[in-house]
Structure 1
Amino acid sequence: MCVESEIRVGSIVVVKVGRNEIEVVVTEIGENRWKVKKVGGNHEFAVSKIERVLGENPSVPEDEPVAAETADTETDDGIDGAENGIPPSEDAEDAGNPNAPDEPEEEPNPAPESGHAEKKLSLLEAAAQVLKRSRTPLNTKEILAKVIESGLWTPNGGKTPEQSLYSAIFREINTKENPRFRKSAEKKGSFEYNR
């Protein structure tokens, strides 16, 4: 474990999430906990233990004040000053000051042009579509190959997608009243679309 006095807002530290150690940036310091943000990502979460300090984030000035607890000062725009790295006193002063420097506001993502967001299919949904079109029973390796080939699903880095698909199909067969899949009577280890 590291020395807590070394930890400041903007410090790059290592925390354990499950069995994995990940690098995060400290965004807020509270009582017996730290709010951190994954390096290179937007995922923010709280931790109660920091494994070690790697260094300071070069984008945060060293004279950054450290909040003893989470500041509850909220401006009229709904943004918490402590989360933006602005000391609460400056944030409160600037909120009512019309001569305060303008900060660029983040604009929300515009809606897609077509009006429908393109939703990615799950592997199970894509497998159902492939089996629906297939005239012959297919095993999970064949289903996976056709799913990827047709572009219905792209691998997400899992090591055994065939086994995941196999268990998902069996789960649906065993738990749903009207499953989309059935075991093939003519080809062992294969599945058909339940028409």
Structure 2
Amino acid sequence: MAANHEHRFGVTKMKKAEVKIGGKYYANVSGNRCEIQIDAEKPRGGWDATNLATGKKILIKSAQRLLGEVGAKRGRAKVTTEGNVTVVENEPATVETIGGESSTAVAVLKKPRKAKTESTETRDAGEKRLSCVAAALKVLGESSEPMNAQELITAMESKGYWTSPGGKTPHATLYSAILRDLAKGDDSKFVKTERGRFTVRG
């Protein structure tokens, strides 16, 4: 039965280079899966080992009889009678047949590929804040009344449109930028309604 499961579910058997003296492995012994410990390598090939369940000395003739290292992560999977595997976890799994005999074969399950995450550049671009002037225009566009530079700075920060990068007088910086825009005449985006108060050009 175990041999059939190994054939059906593609158990990954070990290679000689992966076997270490003193290592503990799962092995197929007399058709049954058990835990063994490798004691020594034999000069003509194979290894002397101990069945950890019975304490008996056994001979492992080939690395292909080893089914994996003890302690490796294993998930669980269920197998229908037709042999379709429903994966519950992503690591190599103990396999059980539904409505039938349980099997001790190890099914090798592929890990799913990680979904691609958006690049840092794309994410950062989406999070860019408005410039000071653009934020001021947005606030004025939402306001029915003209505002001065200090009121604009307060509204911009409270709405989350813009925050001062550390300047001590952001309102003075904004005021100067608005005056430069007003110098464009009819092409300016701001309109001065009275001393120190502005709105947007309609």
Same fold, TM exceeding 0.5?
no
Q: TM-score, normalised by structure 2?
A: 0.38
| Larger strand percent | 2
Q: TM-score, normalised by structure 1?
A: 0.39
